[in-house]
């Protein structure tokens, strides 16, 4: 298969730029790139097209796609009144399967080909979700949510059961070695410290250590949440609760991380743990604006996620623009479109340990979004990437290739 156009390629550590090129895809991998030449005989793309790596969403909840827009509640009330009832429906495995199929099509339709996603507490439904997402060729991580308190009893399980189930998922969907063909794997996913007893957190940390797998959870999203963590864990800091359970290392991804002290940031930085910045969810739930620049300056690794359904944009290009807007609101250093676009591709791939995706380079999995901007983005006199980002329209997407397979027909 041949794909051609203006290719989005990383330049430097945190930037990307455009360069014309023609990509040859063989057996799902990028086999060859002819630079500075846009083939007229490409299967997909051509002159005027933007070819970007598939987008990667570093924090997203599969069962929450049907509750986007449940407005007006702060986090802890939103969880109880909107989120937990929606997640309880995944007790029905057939429902979970049907919904996962719908969600996969939505993700792909918006150009997302890699995820770090949460399922629900239901073991069989989490297994089904992973298998379905694998069948679509999706890259990344999915976790069965672990919670044993502070939620309706129907979606809590005993800690011992959850720890056993997390081990079963690791046996069945291991993290695997770097390769262009590495399948989606299971991540250990304690929901957040409030919904987990210390026994459960420690058990989760043990499984993560044993299997050297990824961990994902939530951290310091609202002040009320931080206060409750203090009450539940003898006044310990939120970060140290995870640290003490063995859940803070370079394979752990924490959603939000808004309300953190300087010493919290030092611990995050030294442990190499990742904050998944969720700018749309943070404004939707009025949780606060995360200071991304301050975290980067402190050496904390920062990814970016849609956090659907607290977040409301399925398109990672829209989430990237929201990252820039959030920075503008607090007078933070203003990231460029090239930096924001890097975050949703190579940057997220890097922090999720997905060395086979996120950039257009030989040997990488062929995950490509083929878009035809219907604006004069290349002749506008302004930065073409900035124009493509702010004017972005999902109707520009003509094809989404995952592992070399044109997939848009699926949605």
Residue 83 binding partner per list ligand GUN, Fe ion, none, with a CB distance cut-off of 5 to 8 Å that depends on partner kind: ligand GUN
Residue 221 binding partner per list ligand GUN, Fe ion, none, with a CB distance cut-off of 5 to 8 Å that depends on partner kind: ligand GUN
Q: Toward Fe ion, which CB reaches closer, 73 or 410? A: 73
Residue 192 binding partner per list Fe ion, ligand GUN, none, with a CB distance cut-off of 5 to 8 Å that depends on partner kind: ligand GUN
221 makes contact with Fe ion (CB under 5 A): no
To the nearest whole angstrom, how small is the minimum distance from the Cβ of residue 408 to ligand GUN? 29
Residue 311 half-sphere exposure, CB side, CA atoms within 13 Å?
A: 28
Using alpha carbons, list the distances in angstroms from residue 68 to 82, 247, 312, 330. 10, 29, 6, 25
Tell which residue, 167, 219, 161, 212, has the closest CA to residue 195.
219
Pick one of 307, 356, 367, 399: the residue that binds Fe ion (CB under 5 A): 307
To the nearest whole angstrom, how small is the minimum distance from the Cβ of residue 239 to ligand GUN? 15
Residue 191 binding partner per list Fe ion, ligand GUN, none, with a CB distance cut-off of 5 to 8 Å that depends on partner kind: ligand GUN
255 makes contact with Fe ion (CB under 5 A): yes
Tell which residue, 274, 229, 213, 280, has the closest CA to residue 64.
280
Q: Toward ligand GUN, which CB reaches closer, 82 or 208? A: 82
To the nearest whole angstrom, how small is the minimum distance from the Cβ of residue 87 to ligand GUN? 8
Q: Which of residues 103-162 bind Fe ion (CB under 5 A)?
A: none
b/e burial code for range 375-400 (CB count within 10 A of at least 16 → b): eebeeeeeebbbbbbeebeeebbebb
Contact region with Fe ion (CB under 5 A), list: 79-87, 204-212, 289-297, 302-310: 302-310
Residue 173 binding partner per list ligand GUN, Fe ion, none, with a CB distance cut-off of 5 to 8 Å that depends on partner kind: none
Q: Which of residues 350-389 bind Fe ion (CB under 5 A)?
A: none
Residue 257 binding partner per list ligand GUN, Fe ion, none, with a CB distance cut-off of 5 to 8 Å that depends on partner kind: none
To the nearest whole angstrom, how small is the minimum distance from the Cβ of residue 189 to ligand GUN? 10
Q: Toward Fe ion, which CB reaches closer, 49 or 238? A: 238
Q: Toward ligand GUN, which CB reaches closer, 52 or 280? A: 280
Contact region with Fe ion (CB under 5 A), list: 7-15, 41-49, 251-259, 312-320: 251-259
Q: Toward ligand GUN, which CB reaches closer, 221 or 264? A: 221
Q: Toward ligand GUN, which CB reaches closer, 273 or 389? A: 273
Residue 62 binding partner per list Fe ion, ligand GUN, none, with a CB distance cut-off of 5 to 8 Å that depends on partner kind: none
Q: Toward Fe ion, which CB reaches closer, 225 or 307? A: 307
Q: Toward ligand GUN, which CB reaches closer, 192 or 377? A: 192
Which spans of this chain sit near ligand GUN (rule: CB under 6 A)?
61, 75, 79, 83, 191-192, 218, 221, 281, 307, 310
Please state whether the peptide bond connecting residue 154 to the residue before it is cis, i.e. omega within 30 degrees of 0: no
CA distance 175 to 173: 7
Q: Could you give the angle at the alpha carbon of 126 between the alpha carbons of 199 and 155, nearest 5°?
A: 55
For Fe ion, the binding residues (CB under 5 A) are 255, 307
């Amino acid at each position: 298969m041949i794909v051609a156009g203006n290719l989005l390629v990383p330049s430097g550590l945190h930037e990307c730029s455009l360069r014309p090129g023609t990509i040859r895809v063989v057996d799902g991998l990028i086999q060859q790139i002819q630079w500075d030449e846009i083939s007229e005989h490409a299967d997909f793309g051509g002159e005027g097209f933007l070819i970007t790596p598939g987008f990667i969403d570093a924090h997203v909840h599969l069962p929450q796609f049907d509750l986007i827009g449940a407005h007006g509640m702060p986090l802890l009330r939103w969880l109880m009144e909107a989120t937990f009832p929606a997640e309880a429906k995944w007790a029905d495995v057939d429902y979970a399967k049907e919904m996962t199929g719908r969600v996969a099509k939505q993700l792909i339709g918006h150009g997302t080909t890699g995820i770090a996603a949460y399922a629900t507490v239901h073991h069989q439904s989490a297994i089904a979700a992973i298998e379905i997402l694998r069948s679509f060729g999706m890259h990344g991580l999915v976790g069965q949510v672990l919670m044993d308190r502070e939620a309706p009893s129907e979606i809590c399980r005993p800690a011992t059961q959850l720890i056993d189930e997390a081990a079963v998922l690791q046996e069945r969907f291991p993290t695997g070695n770097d390769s262009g063909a590495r399948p989606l794997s299971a991540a250990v996913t304690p929901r957040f410290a409030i919904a987990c007893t210390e026994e459960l957190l420690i058990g989760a940390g043990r499984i993560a250590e044993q299997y050297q797998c990824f961990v994902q959870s939530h951290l310091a999203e609202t002040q009320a949440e931080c206060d409750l963590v203090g009450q539940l864990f003898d006044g310990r800091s939120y970060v140290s609760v995870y640290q003490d359970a063995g859940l803070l290392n370079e394979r752990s991804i924490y959603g939000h991380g808004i309300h953190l002290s300087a010493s919290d940031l030092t611990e995050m930085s030294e442990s190499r743990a990742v904050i998944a910045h969720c700018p749309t969810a943070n404004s939707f739930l009025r949780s606060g604006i995360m200071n991304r620049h301050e975290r980067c300056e402190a050496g904390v690794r920062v990814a970016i996620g849609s956090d659907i359904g607290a977040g409301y944009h399925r398109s990672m290009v829209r989430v990237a623009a929201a990252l820039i807007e959030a920075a503008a609101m607090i007078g933070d250093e203003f990231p460029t479109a090239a930096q924001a676009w890097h975050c949703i591709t190579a940057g997220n791939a890097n922090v999720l340990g997905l060395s086979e995706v996120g950039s257009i380079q030989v040997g990488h999995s062929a995950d490509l979004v083929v878009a035809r901007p219907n604006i004069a983005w290349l002749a506008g006199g302004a930065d073409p990437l900035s124009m493509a980002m702010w004017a972005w329209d999902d109707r520009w997407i003509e094809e989404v290739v995952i592992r070399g397979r044109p997939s848009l027909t699926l949605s």
